[in-house]
Amino acid sequence: MTAPAISVSGLRKAYKDRSVLDGIDFEVPAGTIFSLLGPNGAGKTTTVNVLTTLLDADGGTVRVAGHDLATDARAVRAAIGVTGQFAAVDELLTGRENLQLMVDLNRRVTGDGRRIVAGLLDRFELTTSADKPASTYSGGMRRKLDLAMTLVGDPKIIFLDEPTTGLDPRSRRTMWSIVRDLVADGVTVFLTTQYLEEADQLADRVAVLDRGRLVAQGTPEELKRLVPGTHVRLRFATAADLDAAAGVFPEAARDDDALALRVPADGGTKSLRAVLDRLDEHSLSAEGCSVHTPDLDDVFLALTGHPTEVDAK
Ligand SMILES: Nc1ncnc2c1ncn2[C@@H]1O[C@H](COP(=O)(O)OP(=O)(O)OP(=O)(O)O)[C@@H](O)[C@H]1O
């Protein structure tokens, strides 16, 4: 077995007397995508900042690319690329100039810098806007440029801190496909996200961070098994209606307080129609009906017994 790309053991970090990472452990095998999933304020950025040498840990052991963070931070820095929530992109420079600057600053770059820049612009479909100032770029283009800048020097381990927060669905999908391509090329990706769907789409393994502790780790499949699946939620006007419907849908979970039934379904229109047809066949009608796909809130409720909380910074 090859050595893990990242291994973290007993990592602790506090800001003054406030503990933000309270002893976390995980390993990221080389060439895989690992996702740290958690709501605002859970400690994701703090973890990235420690792992990328921007912040000193208070305790624990961290090895990145085989180097001990405490004794060999310089070697860690040489092996990694980091794309943060607050992009490193210089708004006044064009896309091409931003990339050229990274090439000029990066001592690992060998070969023709201009060709490297042109190659990255092409790969990220930024060629047509390459000579416009970055200030004119959309959010999605800016994230792509930021990631392209991260790739200068061919880092083997890349940290992406919430790479798709604030992006529209189309840009998010483009970003996902870029990340998949990176891993296909042998890069290891450490990704933080607030979106269960993103972790599900991309990650080989997911760790769920809650108030500085990891409350679950596993494959996306293992994680989703812990939470209610996609379902149709039917809400009834009376307890008698709920009773009658519960007889029609023996596979459903019932919530007596809300007068609701949770009927397992795949989220498509066919399965929704099948549920409504079954109600019709028994001359029953629901007061409300919604399709529910599990999200981070469901994971948190299932794992911690409390919903996600927005933590004021
Ligand atoms: N420099 C700092 N000084 C004091 N407290 C801080 C500092 N940086 C972060 N924190 C606090 O540490 C906690 C974790 O913050 P962190 O940024 O790591 O969370 P996060 O999971 O990345 O959230 P977000 O998605 O909002 O970035 C938060 O409660 C935050 O307020």
pLDDT digit string (tens) for 221-247? 888 777 777 889 999 999 999 999 999
What is the position in ligand 1's atom list of the atom closest to the CA of 162?
25
Residue 166 Cβ inside 6 Å of ligand 1? The answer reads: no
Q: Which long-range contacts (CB under 8 A, 24 or more apart) does 174-177 make?
A: 174/140, 174/144, 175/140, 175/143, 175/144, 175/147, 176/201, 176/202
Exposure of 57 by Cβ count < 10 A (0-12 exposed, 13-18 middle, 19+ buried)?
buried
What is the whole-number distance in angstroms between the Cα of residue 43 and the centre of ligand 1? Answer: 6
Residue 285 Cβ inside 6 Å of ligand 1? The answer reads: no
Closest residue by CA, ligand 1 atom 14: 43
As a whole number of angstroms, the distance between CA 217 and CA 243 comes to 38
As a whole number of angstroms, the distance between CA 252 and CA 215 comes to 28
- Could you report the per-residue pLDDT of 73-91, keeping only the tens digit for each? 999 988 898 876 556 788 8
Closest residue by CA, ligand 1 atom 16: 43
SS3 string, the chain, reads CCCCCEEEEEEEEEECCEEEEEEEEEEECCCCEEEEECCCCCCHHHHHHHHCCCCCCCEEEEEECCEECCCCHHHHHHHEEEECCCCCCCCCCEHHHHHHHHHHHCCCCCCCHHHHHHHHHHHCCCHHHCCCEHHHCCHHHHHHHHHHHHHCCCCCEEEEECCCCCCCHHHHHHHHHHHHHHHHCCCEEEEEECCHHHHHHHCCEEEEEECCEEEEEECHHHHHHCCCCCEEEEECCCHHHHHHHHHHCCCCEEECCCCEEEEECCCCHHHHHHHHHHHHHCCCCCCEEEEECCCHHHHHHHHHCCCCCCCCC
| Substitution candidate for ligand 1 out of 44, 82, 165 with most atoms within 8 A of CB | 44
Residue recorded with tokens 């498509």: 268
What is the position in ligand 1's atom list of the atom closest to the CA of 49?
18
Identify the pLDDT of residue 168: 86
Residue 99 Cβ inside 6 Å of ligand 1? The answer reads: no
Residue 45 Cβ inside 6 Å of ligand 1? The answer reads: yes
As a whole number of angstroms, the distance between CA 283 and CA 245 comes to 10
| Substitution candidate for ligand 1 out of 16, 45, 47 with most atoms within 8 A of CB | 45
Specify the range with the lowest mean pLDDT, choosing from 75-89, 203-217, 243-257.
Answer: 75-89
Identify the pLDDT of residue 109: 78
Exposure of 117 by Cβ count < 10 A (0-12 exposed, 13-18 middle, 19+ buried)?
buried
Q: Which of 298, 278, 125, 131 is nearest to 227 (CA)?
A: 298
Residue 38 Cβ inside 6 Å of ligand 1? The answer reads: yes
The β-bridge partners of 263 are 232
Residue 308 clears pLDDT 70, i.e. is over it = no
Domain definitions of the chain by residue range: 6-225, 231-293
As a whole number of angstroms, the distance between CA 210 and CA 305 comes to 11
Average pLDDT over residues 53-77: 94
Identify the pLDDT of residue 275: 93
Residue 59 clears pLDDT 90, i.e. is over it = yes
Q: pTM for this structure?
A: 0.81
The CATH class for the domain spanning 6-225 reads alpha beta
Residue 17 clears pLDDT 80, i.e. is over it = yes
Residue 43 Cβ inside 6 Å of ligand 1? The answer reads: yes
Residue 46 Cβ inside 6 Å of ligand 1? The answer reads: yes
As a whole number of angstroms, the distance between CA 291 and CA 295 comes to 12
What is the whole-number distance in angstroms between the Cα of residue 10 and the centre of ligand 1? Answer: 19
